Copies of this chain bind each other. A is one copy, B any other.
Amino acid sequence: MKRTMFFKNKPTIIGVSSVAGPKESSGSINEYIETKLDDDMYGEKTFEKAESRMLFTAIKNSIINAGKEEKDVDALICGDLLNQIIASTFAARNFNIGYLGVYNACATFTEALTIGAAMVDGGYMNNVVCATSSHFSSAERQYRYPLELGCTRPPQSQWTVTGAGSSVISKSGDGPKIVCATVGRVIDYGVTDTNNMGAAMAAGAADTLLNHFKEINSNPDEYDLIVTGDLGTLGSRILKDLVWEKGYDIEKQHVDCGELIYSICEDEYQGGSGAGCSSVVFNSYLYSKLKNKEYKRIILMATGALLSSVSAQQGESIPGIAHAVVVES
């Protein structure tokens, strides 16, 4: 079993776009976000439709920013947290482009980049769009409680990011390049608290990161940043402990998109989460820093908690997964 794949032709991320809700647009990376919403309904009647529209906007603008047209794109590789990934489906309905739906919870964005990079690198497609979204209000009422109940949030909880991000991967052009990817396994640490996603995902993240270092014989010092998706404060600490036990110290390089996206204040507790979290941060702040060569080589590792409300109600624990891609400027 090999889990790391190399892309010899270094598929290039030639354009990106990000859309974010009002809360995310006033956080610490706000100046990098392309489309900032005043209203998280985005002119739609439901949160689900608003999420789908955010994803549509991110996809459309990323194609424009890449200097391409719809007809140049061979496939949309998209996913989100809604049941049957309807935000993606209904966004894809508006394009005359092939569609591959993917789902690995909040790890979906790097799953999409992995598949997209392979499709382009292997010569099967010329340009693909990889995009994901999430919405606080659609996620909250699907996974937890109706918002109207006003439930108290426990201190280990995270805040689902309202946002969408999209990358256009191309066989040629200027921009950061995807060098390799490590596919994650489903790792179950036995966490059953549906409010504690960080702990549930940390073991999957550690597994992927350790495999990555071993398989390509590298170490944390070879990267400017090791970026996790949405482990949050607690999950990040667990990840750092787990890899430290195996002889890797990532304290210096590690940042978490969930910690980056909000200004530190009280009500997100552990930080952001959601399939839109890593994709908003990558397709705004991180892409910009890679593009102007402030960062030369980063690992982007989105992390997912693979539960549903049914699996939780049926007493299942929450397995985690993480897919890592290495992006060079």
A residues engaging B (CB < 8 A)? 1-3, 5, 45-46, 48-49, 70-75, 79, 81-86, 89-90, 92-93, 95-105, 111, 114-115, 118-119, 121-126, 142, 183-186, 188, 306-311, 314, 316, 319, 321
Contacts and interface: CB of A to CB of B under 8 A. Distances in A.
Contacts of A46: 314
Contacts of A316: 86, 90
A83 B125 contact: no
B186 A82 contact: no
Nearest to A105: B84
A229 B83 CA distance: 22
Q: What is the copy number of this chain in the assembly? A: 2
Nearest to A71: B1
A114 B97 CA distance: 16
Contact of A319 (B79, B93, B307): B93
A276 to B, nearest CB: 16
Given A86-B311, A121-B122, 7 more contacts: A3-B74, A3-B75, A5-B119, A83-B310, A99-B184, A101-B306, A118-B122
Nearest to A143: B84
Contact of A126 (B2, B103, B123, B309): B2
Nearest to A85: B103
Contact of A103 (B5, B103, B118, B121): B103
9 closest cross-chain pairs (CB), A and B: A122-B122, A98-B183, A84-B308, A5-B124, A89-B306, A83-B83, A93-B186, A101-B103, A92-B186
B104 A101 contact: yes
16 contacts: A1-B71, A1-B72, A2-B126, A48-B310, A75-B183, A83-B83, A83-B309, A84-B105, A86-B307, A90-B311, A93-B188, A98-B183, A99-B321, A101-B306, A115-B115, A142-B310
A62 to B, nearest CB: 16
A49 B95 CA distance: 36
A1 B310 CA distance: 39
